Structure 1
Amino acid sequence: MSLAQSALPIGISGIEKRFGAVSILSDLSLDVAAGEFLTLLGPSGSGKTTLLMILAGFVRANAGSIKVGGEEIITMPPHKRNIGMVFQNYALFPHMNVFHNIAFPLKQRRVSAAETAERVERALDLVQLKGLGERRVDQLSGGQRQRVALARAIVFEPRIVLMDEPLSALDKSLREHMQIELRNLHRRLGMTTVYVTHDQREAITMSDRIAVMNAGRIEQIDQPEVLYARPRTKFVAGFIGESSFIPVESRNGSVWYEDRKLRMNDAAPSTGRHLMVVRPEKLRLVADVGETGVNLLPATVGDVIYQGDSFVCYATLKDGRQVTLRDYCRSDVLAKLPAPGEPITLGIDAQDVVLVADQ
C-alpha cells in the first residue's frame, strides 16, 4: 500500500467561520503540499479543530474555498470527499471486532469480500496488528485501539488523512512511541496528512511544517526548526518551547539593552521597542567578562534546580526581570555553578539573538 503517487495538495482560501456573533476563523488561507505532514498547533479555542472539521465536511464554513487537487469540495458532503479521519476518541464500534471495524469503510464503498479481506490484512500488517483481526475492541490496549482507528482511516486508500489529537488519551511513554510510529507510517505511505494537536513537542517531532494558530488566525507557518529558532511573534516564541522576553530598543541602526549595545547577526529592526527572545539553552554562564562576540547580562542567582541529566538556573537581571538558564550536568559546568544569591554574568551569542515586536 503506497499513496505517494496519488497524494493530493490542499488549497484553503479565505475560510470564515462564525458561531452566532463569535468569529472562530477569520479569513484563513493555507496551502498543504501533496504528501506533506502538516500540523495545526495551538491552544484550546484557537480554531484548529474547527478548521479540521471544515476540511472533513462535518462543519460548514460561512465563507471561503477548499480545493483538493484543484477540485472544489467546500459544499461536498463528507462521504464523497474520500478523506480518511482519525478521531480523538478513536470512534471504534464496540460491537464489532478489529477486522470489521477496519473493514467498515470498504463495506460502505461496496468493495468485494475477497478484496476487503486482502486490504484489511494489509492494513493490519502496516499498523503492526497482524493476527488480531478477530479480537474485540474492549480487549485492546489504548495504543492498539489507536492503531485500529488509523488502519480504518487508511484501508480505503484515501489521498488525504486528517487526525484530531489521536494520541492525547495515551500515557507519556506510549504517546512518544506512537509519534515515531505515525511519522514512519506517513513516510511509507506518502499520504497528505493534516494533524491537530496542542502539544508542541508532538508537533515538532512529527511534522514537515507546523501552522501555529491563535484566535482563529495563523500566526506563523514554517518548518519546526525554523519556528523554534526564528519565531516571528511573541505568541509563537512563547508557545513553541520556553522563552524569557527582555525589552530592548532599536535606534540609529543598533539594538540596545539598557546601556549595552547588542551584538547580533541579523540587521537591526525598525526604530522602537522590541523584545529579545531568550531560550534557556541559549544562555550560558560566562567566567571571562572580557570574552568577545557574546552579549553579557549581569544577574543574580535566584535558585538552581537539579533535574538529573540537566539543571535549571533561575536568575534575576538588574531590572528585576527573571530569566532561565538550562545546561547539562557536566562536571566542568557543575564546578562553576553558583549558589542562590550570588552575582553571575550570563551570555548569549550574537547568532542567538532573536527579536520580536513588543506587543
Structure 2
Amino acid sequence: MLTFLRRRIVSSALPLLVVVLGVFALARLTGNPASLYLPLNATAEMRANFTAKYGFDDPLLVQMAHYFGGVLRLDFGESLRTGEPAAAMALRAFPATLQLAGTTMLLAVVLAVIVGCWAALKPNGVADRISSFVSMAAASVPDFWLAIMGILVFAITLGWVPTSGVGGATSWILPIATLLLRPFGVLVQIVRGAMVSSLSEPYIKLARSKGASEFRVVTRHALRNAAAPALTVAGDLTVSLVNGAVVVESIFGWPGIGKLMIDSILQRDFAVLQAAVLLTAVSIFILNILIDLGYAGLDARVRPAGRRKKSSRAASVVVAEPKERKIHVQTTP
C-alpha cells in the first residue's frame, strides 16, 4: 500500500506544479492593478510608486522567484483590497466551500444508492424507467440556469427561501439543491449499472438459495462489490464540486473560496487569487489521493502485488525407512 501511495503522490505532483505556474501566468494577464486601484487622473509618478511598492515593475522571472519563495514559506503576500494576509483570507473562506460540497455529496450519495438499488432490482421495470429518466434529466440541467430559476421561483415568487447569503438553515436549501442534481443523476446511473451486474453474479444466486433476505443480498453482497466504481465517480464529482462551486457561490453570495476567486479576479488582487487557487489545488490533490486509497481498499486488484514473505525456517519432515534385516536360515542335511 505504501508503494501504491508513493506512486500516486509522485504522479500527481506534476499537475500541481503546472497549476502553480498557470495561476501565476494567468493572473498577470488580467492587467496592471494600478489602473484599477488608482484614480483616473493619477499621474505617472503615482503609478510608478504603486507598481514599485508591490513589485509589479520587477522582471517576470524575478516576480516568479518571489512567488515560489512565498509558496514554500506559505506566504502569499497581502491583499491589495484589505491589506490582510492572502493566506488567511483563503483559509477563512475555504471551510464554507467544504461544508457546502461535503453536505451536497453526502446527500447525493445516499439518495443515489437508494434509487439506484431500487431501480436495479427489476431492470427495465417501471421504477427503472422512472429513475433513468429523472437521473438523465438531473445530470443534464446546467447549474447556473437552475440557480437562477430557483431564485426566481422559490425566493422571489414564493418567498420560501432567501435569495442569497448565509442567514440560517433555509439559506442552504437553494445552493445545495442546485449542486445536488448533477451528482445525483450521474451516481444513480453508475450505481444502477453496477448493481445490475452484481445481482446477476453466481454468488448472489447462491446467497438467495441459502435463504438470505433480499435486503441482506442487496446491502451485504451486491452493494459492496458495486461500491468501487461508484466511489471513483463520487470522488471525481466531489472534486468538480470543490472546483466548480464558483458559479453557484457567486450567484447565491456564498462566502466560499469560489466567490473569493471571482472577487479577486475582478479586483486584480493577485496575492489572494494565487492563495485561493493553490489552496484549492492542494485540497483536490489530497482528495484524489484519498479516493485512490479508498478504491485500493475496496478492490485489491489495483494494489501492487506485495512480496511474499518467506519463512526463515523451512519445516521439513524426515521419514526414516526401517533398515533391511537379513535373516539367516540354516538347514540341516
**The structure with more helix, counted as a fraction of residues:** 2
- Fold conserved (TM > 0.5)? no
TM range (shorter): under 0.3
TM normalised by structure 1 equals 0.24
TM normalised by structure 2 equals 0.25
* Larger of the two Rg values belongs to structure: 2
**The structure with more strand, counted as a fraction of residues:** 1
